[in-house]
Amino acid sequence: MATKRVKKSQQGTIMITRLLSRFLVASAVIGMAVLARAAGPEELRFFESKIRPLLVRQCFQCHSQKGKEIESGFSLDSRRQILQGGDRGPAVNLKEPSRSLLLRAVSYQDDDLQMPPKKKLTADEITLLKKWIELGAPMPEVAPPPSVQTGIDLVAGRKHWAFQPLGPDSKRATTSWSHNGLDDWIQVKRQAEGMQSVGQADRRVLIRRLSYDLRGLPPGWQEVEEFANDASIDAYEKLVDRYLASPQYGERWGRYWLDLARYTDTTASWLKGTGKAYHYRDWIIKALNEDIAYDQFILCQLAADHLVKARPEDIAALGFLGLSPTYWKELRLAPDMIKTIVAEEWEERIDTIGRTFLGLSLACARCHDHKFDPVSTEDYYALAGVLASTRLVDEPLLREPLAEVVRAADRKIAEIEEAIHKQKTLKEAAQNKKPFDDRVKKLQQEIDEIKKKTPHFNVPRVHSVKDASIHVLPDDPDRTRIVYHDDEPIDLAVQLRGEPTRLGKVVPRRFIEVLSTGKPKPFRQGSGRLELARSIVSDA
């Protein structure tokens, strides 16, 4: 067998590599020994006499099973749990004790982490904790706590009646006076309470009830007389149909939907939008009067721009998202602060979607798994990714490609208006103002010309949305910029405890798991708004 000769320089390199490997292994073993070594009697006495009383007095209420609860996932009940830490990572650094998270917290070195929050420890107490960490954080060994299930129990959650499909109910009671199935369920409770029917309401009472319920208005005198004297067998049904067909029906019941959709006639003045809010209001009223199917009602409000058969006027339905509250973002603030403001906007929209379409308060899952409903933090950020990929815009009520022509004109006008603003700013500091006035006049003429030459430019604009992801970026040491990437959806990472600066696992955009069959499928179509809407109205 042939052998290769190794040069002396190569031999030296190999020897150094072997020695370095042995040193690293030995260091790792020594490090593990420090972490796992048993505490001596003196160290344990120090802990029991100095440290445990301090922890019990100042910390156990929030960070021990002996207290009310374990906050931030951090427990002080055992050395293992202290070394493991909570949401922010290990609490002590045995290699560099002075850099321990626990010491930083009790020393109030970080503005966002000061423990205990009500009153800072004394200098002597902080010194004791520092000495304890330098000793290796010794404390008596305790048996690990019994394993308990953490996270959301989806099996149990799906068994809750609120997440079960509708079906026949054996608790219905038969009645001789009932005209619909709802009365049968009401009769069960009436019988349990020993309540008896007071008899059939007369015609004059019925028409008043119907008119107020369906139209929100009292019936006219002539209407009352005609109904009271109508002897036909279907007089009641005809009256119901007439009221349902009246324009006031949509106005009366649309009001309740608009309350859920947090509708407002005006938006923040600083948005400088061209859209008019009332178009969304009118669409809701018209949809109720036309009695469109409920699934289509939801699909239009979340994703009309993705529906092949949507009418141009259906773009107004996107006002459900397009009229969402938008908070002022002062770009002279740090990026982390702007990210927090953006996260607040997502929370409001997720909460509205959950309460309106699902009857769930999803916003509770922003910082932690929902305390009462089977909704996880990952569910929350899966939906947040949909909204992070959706931008609020004003849209012309036109079909494509006519709408894009108007959009292009709007973009050009916005650029010219920005140039006009700059000229007016420069004019304030100038002695000779005429050149600036001339430039502004010329730029305004350009705007007038664009409006004149653009077909359908004066068509109404509505508050709407489009697929575009938001990105908050540093501009320079003292400024932030916000950039949108059209048709480039993004998946979000879980923000630990709801803080945009502390990121966890990236979650694909999808529907909430408890309402899905098996594992929910990731959304792949643009922002995911259409898939979200379809998941709401059908089996996911």
Is the pLDDT assigned to residue 79 strictly greater than 70? yes
Is the pLDDT assigned to residue 5 strictly greater than 50? no
Q: What is the pLDDT of residue 262?
A: 93
Q: In which band, very low, low, confident or very high, does the pLDDT at 513 lie, cut at 50, 70 and 90?
A: very high
Q: For the residues 16-27, what does the mean pLDDT come to?
A: 43
Of 167-181, 272-286, 310-324, minimum mean pLDDT range:
167-181
**What digits encode the pLDDT tens for the residues 96-155?**
888 888 888 888 887 778 888 888 889 888 898 888 888 888 888 776 655 445 567 888
Element (H, E) at 473: strand 461-476
Q: What is the pLDDT of residue 146?
A: 54
Half-sphere exposure of 49 (CA within 13 A, CB side): 6
Residue pair 27/34 in contact (Cβ under 8 Å)? The answer is no
Strand order in the sheet with 461-476: 390-396, 461-476, 479-486
Q: What is the pLDDT of residue 19?
A: 42
Alpha-carbon torsion 154, 160, 166, 167, what sign?
A: positive
**What digits encode the pLDDT tens for the residues 184-215?**
878 888 888 888 877 788 899 999 999 999 99
Beta-bridge partner residues of 469: 485
Q: What is the pLDDT of residue 90?
A: 87
How far, in Å, are 258, 275, 464 from residue 319 at the CA level?
11, 10, 5
How far, in Å, are 125, 130, 387, 424 from residue 52 at the CA level?
12, 14, 47, 68
Is the pLDDT assigned to residue 20 strictly greater than 70? no
**What digits encode the pLDDT tens for the residues 254-269?**
999 999 999 988 877 6
Q: What is the pLDDT of residue 140?
A: 86
Tokens encoding 536: 């709401």
Considering only residues 174 and 483, tell me which one the structure prediction assigns the higher pLDDT: 483
Q: For the residues 340-348, what does the mean pLDDT come to?
A: 95
Q: What is the pLDDT of residue 33?
A: 42
Residue pair 263/280 in contact (Cβ under 8 Å)? The answer is yes
For residue 401, cis peptide bond before it (omega within 30 degrees of 0):
yes
How many angstroms separate the CA atoms of 507 and 174, rounded? Answer: 50
Is the pLDDT assigned to residue 25 strictly greater than 90? no
Q: What is the pLDDT of residue 319?
A: 95
Q: What is the pLDDT of residue 420?
A: 87
How many angstroms separate the CA atoms of 137 and 131, rounded? Answer: 9
Strand, helix or coil at 177?
A: coil
Residue pair 313/397 in contact (Cβ under 8 Å)? The answer is yes
Q: What is the pLDDT of residue 143?
A: 65
**DSSP classification of residue 520:** P
**Which residues does 163 contact at the CB level (< 8 Å), separation at least 6?**
157, 374, 514, 515
Residue pair 220/227 in contact (Cβ under 8 Å)? The answer is no
Q: In which band, very low, low, confident or very high, does the pLDDT at 285 lie, cut at 50, 70 and 90?
A: very high
Name the amino acid, one letter, at 40: G
Q: What is the pLDDT of residue 117?
A: 85
Considering only residues 144 and 361, tell me which one the structure prediction assigns the higher pLDDT: 361
Q: How many residues does the chain have?
A: 540
**What digits encode the pLDDT tens for the residues 387-443?**
999 999 998 888 888 888 888 888 888 888 888 888 888 888 787 878 888 888 889
Q: Which of 365, 379, 381, 353 is nearest to 519 (CA)?
A: 379
**What digits encode the pLDDT tens for the residues 227-248?**
999 889 999 999 999 999 999 9
Q: For the residues 52-68, what does the mean pLDDT come to?
A: 83
Of 34-43, 74-83, 346-355, 493-502, minimum mean pLDDT range:
34-43
**Which residues does 83 contact at the CB level (< 8 Å), separation at least 6?**
35, 90, 91, 92, 94, 137
Q: In which band, very low, low, confident or very high, does the pLDDT at 37 lie, cut at 50, 70 and 90?
A: low
Beta strand pairing call for 503-507 and 492-495 = antiparallel
**DSSP classification of residue 430:** -
